[in-house]
Amino acid sequence: MKPLSPRIAILMTLPPLMWAGNAVVGRLMVGQMPPLALNALRWSLAALLLLPLAWPLLRDARERHAVRDAWPYLLLIGTLGIGAFNALQYLALRSSTALNVSLINASMPLWMLTVGALAFAERPASRQLIGALLSLAGVATVIARGAWASLAEVHFVAGDGLMLVAVIGWAVYSWLLVRPPAVLRPPSRETIARWGWGGYLWVQCLFGLVAAGLAAGAEIALADHPPIDWSSPAVWGALLFVAIGPSLIAYRCWGLGVAHAGPSLAAFFVNLSPLFAALLSAWLLGEWPQPYHGAAFVLIVAGIVVSAWKR
């Protein structure tokens, strides 16, 4: 793990900004597009956009053999990072509130530290635990809108359980990116370097779409949803945004940030997402940011700084 530099800090700030926009768009698409279909269409379009970067991989027999040999690992990370997380988030937004989803997503640093300790023998330092508490306090400030008593009124529903599963799965996915177990026969660093970031993400999309496609097919067969209005500019605009911003840009920046800063520190940046979501929602509603947004930002950044502090 390398020290946190301004470049890495900027890289790790972009994913929560993109994912905040993803949550807003996902909420807007409720009733216009089935959640699992939205996830499958999102990653299908992202895979199509990545195809020019993955074309050398497809033409080279050696690279195709490398994909075949590493299929258990690629299927696992593709299912966790592509097929599961966003599908569960979109499902959660149908039955849960943005308040609850933000609260559960804010537990990401704790789950990242827990998975690292239990599965990868990475004991959390005291500064990381203090940073997690500071960061969670910042998120709670956003959720409570500066009125802490309102947190007592939060009620949890079935969708919250889906979001919790998504967060834990994302923590495992992030650790597998930097600590892949040998038993799964992951591709070597040299192989991934040959593929490039676009080829590597395309392969993850390819395997992740197996789970995403099956889930979307089951959703269409078992649930009664209104047909998608393909003549709507809002539908196409939403698909283009979620395929480019929260998918290509966010995943590229996340992969670079995790590789340089480590999963535990990267998780603290996820707590910026509820703050960005609050600001985006306020902007869409024509409301100006409130003082508690500034207080939350200070607490979240303090958590990041404390967790990254080196003696």
* Total number of domains in the chain: 1
DSSP 170: H
Query: Would 44 be classed as within a structural domain?
Result: yes
Query: Would 1 be classed as within a structural domain?
Result: no
C-alpha–C-alpha distance, residues 113 and 163, integer Å: 18
Q: Give me the pLDDT at residue 248, please.
A: 92
Domain range for 174: 6-308
C-alpha–C-alpha distance, residues 181 and 302, integer Å: 33
Q: Which of 103, 258, 118, 122 is nearest to 167 (CA)?
A: 103
Give residue-wise pLDDT tens across range 244-268: 999 999 988 888 888 877 777 777 7
pTM of the model: 0.79
Helix (H) or strand (E) holding 14: helix 6-28
Instruction: Give the amino acid at 291.
Output: P
> C-alpha angle 212/218/223, rounded to 5°?
125
C-alpha 81 chain-centroid distance: 7
Q: The tokens 């998918």 sit on which residue? A: 247
Query: Would 120 be classed as within a structural domain?
Result: yes
Query: Would 41 be classed as within a structural domain?
Result: yes
C-alpha–C-alpha distance, residues 230 and 194, integer Å: 38
Query: Would 214 be classed as within a structural domain?
Result: yes
What does the mean pLDDT of the chain come to? 82
Quickly state the pLDDT bin for 104 (edges 50, 70, 90).
confident
